[in-house]
Amino acid sequence: MAYKVCIIRAPGTNCDRETALCIGSLGIEAEVVHVKRIMDGQTHFSDFDGLIIPGGFSFGDHVRAGALLGKILKERFGDELVQFSADGKPILGICNGFQVLVECGLLPGRGALGALTTNLSSHFECRWVDLKVEESDCIFTRGLRRGIRLPVAHGEGRFLVTEGELQEMTEANQLVFRYALEKGEAAGGSYPENPNGSVEDIAGICNKAGNVFGLMPHPERAFYRFMHPRWTKSDDADSWGDGYKIFKNMAEYIRR
């Protein structure tokens, strides 16, 4: 049986081909679909077994990052995407895709309000970061029990949520990644380990079911080991980088 993942793009998206390469290399057909094709009814989300909203600057991040694509998806396809998620199909939002998932209400989920806003540093942050893997029901991080390193590249990655909703998300195991110190402890808000000032060092969250996942770091930019800037100094013989497992988990979940 052939499985397909939709990688949606819009004007300004620039990580779609790299993301397609990652999921395609795992034996899942990856189709990059312009949002206009979906708006025109030429393609439907229900035609696919998974959805990825990749990084970039959809619609130039006018208004705020991910706002326009998020509102299009919510107003035009909100019910379809809610059903897509309810059917257990995986949805992954990377960087701008995370912002889109928050803007369209799929994350944090069930009416909870979250926001991804301007970095506390007030400038674009482009660096590799350490991440602490939290205990969660996220299907994308199964088997990840140690700290990992992924790159970030964003100007609006500061995750904010009310205290009450943060407590609810914590109790529901929705916190997936936290920015961390090199030794693995949460960054405690320290810069540049926490590159944007996110509350509780949050770098990635999932919905309560664990099949919708958004993160600011870029796993597609750490898919192969040689993509890490210090790969030649590592004794690890594994060909894969830390981002590989996220896509591998998605592919295995779809097959199951």
pLDDT > 90 in the chain, percent? 88
Residue 110 pLDDT class (50, 70, 90 cuts): low
pLDDT of residue 235: 66
CATH class of 4-255: alpha beta
Mean of the per-residue pLDDT values of the chain: 94
Q: What is the mean pLDDT of residues 141-159?
A: 94
Catalytic residues: 95, 218, 220
Tens of pLDDT along 20-55? 999 999 999 999 999 999 999 999 999 999 999 999
Q: Do the bridges between strand 114-117 and strand 125-133 make them parallel or antiparallel, or are there none, so unpaired?
A: unpaired
Q: Which element (helix H / strand E) includes 149? A: strand 148-154
Residue 183 pLDDT class (50, 70, 90 cuts): confident
Q: Which element (helix H / strand E) includes 72? A: helix 67-86
Number of neighbouring beta carbons within 10 Å of residue 94: 30
Asked whether the predicted pLDDT for residue 96 surpasses 90, the reply is yes
pLDDT of residue 146: 80
Distance of alpha carbon 36 from alpha carbon 186, whole angstroms: 41
20 within 8 A of 55, measured Cβ to Cβ: no
Give the alpha-carbon dihedral of 89, 91, 92, 98, to 10 degrees: -160
Residue 237 pLDDT class (50, 70, 90 cuts): low
Where do the structural domains in the chain lie, given as residue ranges? Answer: 4-255
Query: Residue 202 has which token pair?
Result: 């949050």
Q: Of residues 216 and 228, which shows the higher confidence score?
A: 216
Q: Which element (helix H / strand E) includes 169? A: helix 163-171
Which has the minimum average pLDDT: 30-39, 228-237, 240-249?
228-237
Evaluate the CA torsion angle 175, 179, 181, 184 in order and state its sign. Answer: positive
